[in-house]
Amino acid sequence: MSKIKEFLINFDEDALLSEVRKELDGGAEPLAVIAQCQDALIEIGEQFDAGEMFVSDLMMAGALFKGISEIVIPLLKKGDVPVAGKVVLGTVKDDIHDIGKDIVNNMLTASGFEVVDLGVDVPPEDFVTALKEHDAKVLALSCLLASCYDSIRDSVDAVKAAGIRDKVKIIIGGGPIDEHVVTYSGADSMGITAQDAVSLCKEVFSNG
């Protein structure tokens, strides 16, 4: 296990940030550092699913990863990392959870995507406005509350009503999301982890 992964899983913030800076100063590629963090976040997610970690642990992991991203992302932007594509991201209306969304934002950004993060409790029309303004091909909707399934569907319907549904792939994710919600809402696909979101976006843009 890499030291970065070990320190992140154990929530050792001081050792984690020190190791990140040490590896970067030693010539490590920024994306390699992000990859180690992604491995840790995936394992943390698996432990959460197994009942070995709690929501507070996920929040801590998200906060630590955000701190690492503040160090690593600027280094990526200084290089010749091509923009993989534009993604509009947000938590749907009536849901104010942002930890999962923020982790997805960081991972997408680290993978070369330009992310337009609209925040939380986002009305359907705001997603449409952002998609048009930025000519984005992907809309990523986050939802942690089962009571907000209708908000996902309303957002999908708003994209349809705007006449751009055939130009936009809609992916959804969050704790309670499964394939039944995809069918119910009319979205295209769903992801369980933040890495799933990255993979789905890569698939969209690789297919043109």
Q: Could you report the per-residue pLDDT of 152-173, keeping only the tens digit for each?
A: 999 999 999 999 999 999 999 9
Residues 6+ apart with CB under 8 A from 127: 88, 90, 118, 139, 141, 155, 158, 159
Range of the domain at 182: 85-206
Same domain, 135 and 39: no
Query: What confidence tens digit (pLDDT) does each residue in 47-68 have?
Result: 877 889 887 887 788 889 889 9
Residue 80: predicted pLDDT: 46
- Which residue from 115, 90, 106, 97 is spatially nearest to 40, judged by alpha carbons? 106
Do 49 and 93 sit in the same domain of this protein? no
Task: Give the chain's residues under pLDDT 70.
Answer: 77-83, 208
Same domain, 70 and 94: no
Reference 11, options 68, 74, 71; nearest CA is 68
Are 52 and 106 contained in the same domain? no
Percent pLDDT > 70 in the chain is: 95
Question: Rounded to whole angstroms, how far apart are CA atoms 84 and 58?
Answer: 27
Mark whether 170 and 103 lie in a shared domain: yes
Domain end (from 44, 78, 112): 78
Same domain? For 58 and 113 the reply is: no
CB 36 within 8 A of CB 90: no
- The number of folded domains in the chain is 2
